[in-house]
Structure 1
Amino acid sequence: MSRSQDPHKTFLPFGNPFRMMKAKGSNLSPKLLDLLNTFEETLSARLNKLKPANKKDVLSFSWMKAAIESLCGIHADIKVLITALELPVCDWDDKWIDVYLDNSVKLLDICIAFTSEISRLKQGRLFLQCALHSLTGASSNKFVSARSSLDGWRKHVGSKNPKLENCFSVMESLARTLDLPKIKNSSKGKVLMRAMYGVKAVTLFVCSAFAAALSGSAKSLSDVQVSETYLWGETFADLQTFVNTEIRNSTNGSFAVLKEIEDVVTGVEKLYPVVRDCVGVGPVGDEELMKCTLDLEKSTEKFADGLNLLGKEVDGFFQVVLTGRDALLCNLRVGGDVFDQMRTNHRLDGQAVR
């Protein structure tokens, strides 16, 4: 796991992409304005629930799980809005479709990177289980085996995951597309693009925080500037500042970011010298050995449970994105020529969907 202390790096700030909308709801019918308000109020409520009472809870599997659950809900909300707008895909501007398909591929790639890192951490857990199993055995070489397993964990947790490292550039690319196409003659299109901006901004924020927590580096954090003309803008800015500040403070000289990983690392560092001193001479200080072993066993169990739950949420989000993409492509098939054109630009056997 990378622990490099990279210089503070942020994505380019993005303002309100709908500058032509001088006031929210300008030129919108009461029905469209109500749909937009409902979406933005729901988004604000979801963001508000993500701010924990204790800042240290940000860097935990439980917060990350809640953040991904919120993303799934937000992506479901945009589907509800699209249905309510009664704006058939055949009426979508080609630019909207192009942006949506391109962004969905990026999100799938990011999900794959997260899944890869979660799988890698699960592999590291095997070293811990082997060490604990060795210490409960009666073999004369149990301390040698335990020390070897602990060495394996230390090496594994300190290594880098290329897929996770590569997803940082994917998120930068995603950030550059936040400024969506301008809408001139379609009120429904304006509502749709405005809502999609909210989905993209929150998705980018959560994914960047997720990557920073998993990598142990704040270099992937985004600082998206959102206009207060959105009903969710102030809540978003408050949450983003809260979360990013805590992550940056915690990565300053820290070996691990996530609390569950930090607890395991601490347990290993306490147990390792005790096991090392026992090699060749037998147990010295049985009470200390038992205490350190029990502490590591407890932290390893919490670590494993958190990983499993988080992995399921990431898989769920992957399916949400993939389902939405497939639904759009199915609707495009009805358009015949339109689908053929989009299929040329966005191959289904691309880097994420293969």
Structure 2
Amino acid sequence: MSHPQDPHRPFLPFGNPFRMMLPKGSHLSPKLLDLLNAFEESLAGRLKKLKPANGEDVLSLSWMKSAMESLSGMHADTKVLITALELPVCDWDDKWIDVYLDDSVKLLDICIAFSSEISRLRQGNLFLQSILHNLGSASSNQFVRARSSMDGWRQHVGSKNPRLDKCFSVMDSFAQTLDLPKIKNSSKGKVLMRAMYGVKVVTLFICSIFATAFSGSAKKLMDLEVPETCLWAKAFADLQTFVNTEIRNQFSSGRVTVLKELEGVDKCVENLYPIVVEGVEPVEAGVLKNPPSELEKSAEKFSQGLDLLAKEVDSFFQVVLTGRDALLCNLRVGGNVSDQMRTNLNVEGQAVR
């Protein structure tokens, strides 16, 4: 069913992040500028590849898999940049560390929520397999069981995952920290924070799309604005406008679900329902092909799509977790880390695990 939509207002971080990172009159060396430009051009390229060929590809499981794969690549690019900057963790400002650790915790929480929802959807395959099994017999008892499985599928798909509510609150908190800390006396730090800002914006955007798809509501779909000075700004704006517009159009049209493969399964089940419950002939029900065969194909496509997406979400979780663990390890062995920070890091590390 359709959902009432709030007015769409671009999300603007408090202040201008680049006023703090690259204040007027500041200059980067040619080497640092080349590193930053290369990173941002790579980010722009990833965003261009993510733009769907047409509206029907938006929120397909295959597109969502590609989006999550791109996120993993962006975060991996950040690690490469840190190495190229020759900026060891011992030279990081405490504020940069706080930003990184806080963001990583939020991302891990979001990944856990997404994995939970994917797992819940995968459990629905049990109902689909039961439907197909029972439709293989002309027995009236089997038809009764098929109907029960259809009702179970409907109820399962229509239920809500409470972990998604927590995911929304985490993303709201994540959005409020787009305003990055002021960088003083460190050109390398300014490049690092600007790169992390770009990845953070794209990560938040993609996560909001996933949360929208899984929750069945576009209320939390985010419209983010970034400074035009970013080399990836246009690519991001084009992608965001295309995807968000298509998603809102789909919701306003009254579609029950916006996940393409899930919608395909739903249509097959709805076509089969009157045949099983009322004994209606397939032609009368508007089904021109073999309905069980169509359901089997749709169910297989849905199952495979979920499996592939689950792997990508897990891969992204591991990218974030290993990056966080590496930072924690370096800080624990560093001689310039205060006892209080060591205590906080140990507590945070245990909480994530």
TM-score, normalised to structure 2, is 0.92
> The residue matched to 1:46 in structure 2 has which SS?
helix
Once the two structures are aligned, what percentage of the paired residues are identical? 70
1:9 shift after superposition:
6.2
CA RMSD of aligned residues (A): 2.1
Amino acid at match of 2:303: A
Partner of 2:122: 122
Partner of 1:299: 298
Partner of 2:149: 149
The Cα offsets for residues 208-228 of structure 1, whole Å up to 9 and x where unpaired, read as: 111111222112211111011
Partner of 1:255: 256
Amino acid at match of 2:86: E
Partner of 1:45: 45
1:345 shift after superposition:
3.2
- In 2, Cα distance between the equivalents of 1:340 and 1:192? 26
Change (3 A) 1:271 1:8: farther
Contact 1:110–1:167 (8 Å) recurs in 2: yes
Change (3 A) 1:10 1:265: farther
Q: Does 1:333 align with 2:332?
A: yes
How many residues get paired? 346
Q: Residues 1-354 of structure 1: matches in 2 within 5 Å? A: 4-5=3-4, 7-8=6-7, 12-14=11-13, 16-20=16-20, 21=22, 26-137=26-137, 139-252=139-252, 253-278=254-279, 285=281, 291-336=290-335, 338=337, 340-346=339-345, 347-348=347-348, 353-354=352-353
Amino acid at match of 1:271: L
When structure 1 is superposed on structure 2, of 9-18 and 31-40 the one drifting more is: 9-18
The Cα offsets for residues 120-161 of structure 1, whole Å up to 9 and x where unpaired, read as: 000112111101111113544110000000000000100100
1:307 shift after superposition:
0.4
Q: Which runs of 5+ in 2 are unaligned?
A: none
> The residue matched to 1:256 in structure 2 has which SS?
coil
Contact 1:68–1:317 (8 Å) recurs in 2: yes
The Cα offsets for residues 63-99 of structure 1, whole Å up to 9 and x where unpaired, read as: 1000001000000000000001111111111011011
> The residue matched to 1:263 in structure 2 has which SS?
helix
1:59 shift after superposition:
1.6
Contact 1:9–1:220 (8 Å) recurs in 2: no
- In 2, Cα distance between the equivalents of 1:129 and 1:10? 43
Contact 2:332–2:342 (8 Å) recurs in 1: no
When structure 1 is superposed on structure 2, of 206-215 and 113-122 the one drifting more is: 206-215
Change (3 A) 1:132 1:185: same
1:58 shift after superposition:
1.2
1:342 shift after superposition:
3.0
> The residue matched to 1:254 in structure 2 has which SS?
coil
Amino acid at match of 1:170: V
1:289 shift after superposition:
9.5
1:295 shift after superposition:
1.5
Q: Which runs of 5+ in 1 are unaligned?
A: 279-283
TM-score, normalised to structure 1, is 0.92
Change (3 A) 1:241 1:307: same
1:277 shift after superposition:
1.4
Contact 2:275–2:282 (8 Å) recurs in 1: no
